Structure 1
Amino acid sequence: MEENEQIIGSKSFTAVAVNCASKAGEWIKSRIGQFAEPDLKHSMHDLVTEVDKGSERLIRNLIGTHFPHHSFLGEEGVEPGPEASARALEKVSDAEYLWIVDPIDGTTNYVHDFPFYSVSIALARKGQVIVGVVYDPSRDELFVAERGKGAYVHGKRMSISGEKALRQSLVATGFPADHTAALPANLKQIQAVAPQVRNVRVAGSAALHMAYVAAGRLSGFWEIGLNAWDLAAGSLLVEEAGGRVTDQSGEPYHLGVRNVAASNGWIHGELLEALKKA
């Protein structure tokens, strides 16, 4: 089987990722307004619905039929909180092939029918992301990247925005669900960054924000306390579109990064500087 997978190569990995993302996206869109009261997860602001779980099951089953020997890390299988996330990642860290899935990134938006949520699917080989797919069912936009082959939306090659300075830039961030540490820290960063940029957006899906950096719609994105499934697919989209993804001290992105900075590259130093000052 392993050899066959090598022969099949990345093309089929990407095809499976795209198929999973679009099927899951269609399914979650069809379920809007039909679900019961959401369970409460890590905090009231981190809503999780039966739709999340159904979407993850659908993706896991589809991947399993094609690649039964591959490992799988999905948001729904992991207890809330940073320690559990770190443990879950540790458990699969030596997998040759690891699928990293967020079945609905932006659950709170989804629950409120605010059309900014996405399905995020990445495949890492020995810890390096080689395929990244983010699908926005509301706009039917599919963002796809394959390592070394560029990043695409609507089948057109994406490239990062051309802003050279922070003051010309539209950037995005999030309000973390962890209200004890991550949220206050991120609010301080917003206070530091906002006066230095054209404007800041907080739309509620890290994966889509990363896709928007890749597509040149945002010049940068940062947030504190994210997980591998929020960032893995988006990190490849940004890199393959010509941008830069690091942790907030400027170290290169890896699957364990929680405090992220992504940008068109031009403004990266300035953005990191502003975050450090906070």
Structure 2
Amino acid sequence: MIETTPFAAELPWSRLKEMVRMLSKKELMSRFHRVSARHKADGSLVTAADRAMQQAVELFLHEQWPEYAFLGEESECETQNRALAQRQGCWILDPLDGTTNFIHGFELFSCSLALAISGEVVLGIVYDPVRDEIFAARRGLGAELNGQPLGISGTARSLDSSLALVDYKRLPCSLAASLVEAPPFASQRNLGSVALDWCWMATSRADLYLHGGQKLWDYAAGQLIFSEAGGASCTLDAEPVPANSMEPRSAVAAGTSALLGLWMAHLDASQ
């Protein structure tokens, strides 16, 4: 186990979580159901809510901890790469994870904030403002939901009894087709928010997870929360999901190591 950093253990934890909650209500919920969007260069959508939330969070963090760099989804690529290279500490923010859901009035979106020190994510906060659920974790100190300890329990023991969260759009075509034609699980969902995917897995609301390519700001906080709750995960290449890199990462996860082994074996045979 990676040792807990002094910062992760001693920071004003309640104040940091309350900041995410307060600004999400102010900047995101105040714009929900009345928002316009534009396409970014990569084809993804961005709204005034994304930009306002990032600006507000960045300002707060800079005032409190100016020594740490800041990497936001809506930052320029050069700024993102420069921030990630700062090994002494880097905040990683997705101001609005689930922008397409948000634009369409679909009530599944979140704000995700993580802190990486020396390339390792040491804390994560994911807030769902619709349900007022704040998921959080500090490395080595466990995960929590609304201040109560969070641990995976009651997960399925077999693939055919599992509920799976699968994002087909980013999977290799052959693998996606195989899962559609002969699904090994009982049923499948796609939330449209990577951060909430990880957190809902951490609460045992689903048993299996598969995503073909998520960005650092998508998974940094959620994957830590899931891991600290006791879940097991890896990439499609059987590597650790977290990486100190801007390159998209695939993600395979399950509530237990045994179930992950079954899931990976099926995916390997399907590719």
Range into which the TM-score falls when normalised by the shorter chain = 0.7 to 0.9
Shift of 1:16: 4.8
Counterpart selection for 1:134 from 122, 126, 129: 126
**Residue 19 of structure 1: SS of its match in structure 2?**
helix
Identify unmatched segments of 5+ residues in structure 2. none
Paired with 2:64 and 2:102, the residues of 1 have a C-alpha distance of 29
Residue 167 of structure 1 contacts residue 196 of structure 1 at CA under 8 Å; is this kept in 2? yes
Q: Deviations over 1:229-248 (max 9, x none)?
A: 00000111111101112111
Partners of 1:124 and 1:225 in 2: CA distance = 20
From 107, 110, 116, the equivalent of 1:118 is 110
Q: Map 1:178-193 onto structure 2 (within 5 A).
A: 182=171, 184=173, 187-188=176-177, 190-191=179-180
Equivalent pairs counted in the alignment come to: 260
Assess if the C-alpha contact under 8 Å between 1:249 and 1:272 holds in 2: no
**Equivalent of 2:156 in 163, 168, 190:** 163
Task: Write the distance in 2 (CA, Å) between the matches of 1:25 and 1:131.
Answer: 18
CA distance in 1, matches of 2:130, 2:178: 30
- 1:191 Cα deviation after fit: 2.5
CA contact (8 A) 2:135 2:143 kept: yes
What letter is aligned with 1:14? W
Cα gap change, 1:76 to 1:185, in 2 (>3 Å): farther
What TM-score, normalized by structure 1, do the two folds share? 0.84
After superposition, the Cα gap between the structure-2 partners of 1:90 and 1:183, relative to the gap in structure 1 and judged at 3 Å, is farther
Q: CA RMSD in A?
A: 2.4
2:70 to 69, 72, 80: 72
Q: Is the 8 A contact 1:127 1:254 kept in 2?
A: no
Query: What is the alpha-carbon distance in structure 2 between the residues aligned to residue 19 and residue 133 of structure 1?
Result: 10
Structure 2 counterparts to residues 19-98 of structure 1, below 5 A: 19-27=18-26, 28-35=28-35, 37-42=36-41, 46-78=44-76, 88-89=80-81, 92-98=84-90
Task: Indicate how the Cα distance of structure 1 residues 11 and 189 shifts in structure 2: closer, same or farther if over 3 A, else same.
Answer: farther
Q: For the Cα contact (< 8 Å) 2:234–2:251, is it kept in 1?
A: yes
Q: Is residue 122–residue 232 contact of structure 1 (8 Å, CA) maintained in 2?
A: yes
The reply to whether residue 223 of structure 1 matches residue 211 of structure 2 is yes
Q: Which runs of 5+ in 1 are unaligned?
A: 1-5
How far, CA to CA, are the matches of 1:267 and 1:166 in structure 2? Answer: 7
Question: Which amino acid in 2 is paired with 1:163?
Answer: A
Deviations 1:32-85 (A, max 9, x none): 1333x31112566x3210110111111111111110010111111145xxxx8x
Question: Is 2:107–2:130's contact at 8 Å kept on the other side of the alignment?
Answer: yes
**TM-score, length-normalised on structure 2?**
0.86
Q: Relative to 1, partners in 2 of residues 1:11 and 1:185: Cα closer, same or farther, differing over 3 Å?
A: farther
> Is 1:104 the equivalent of 2:96?
yes
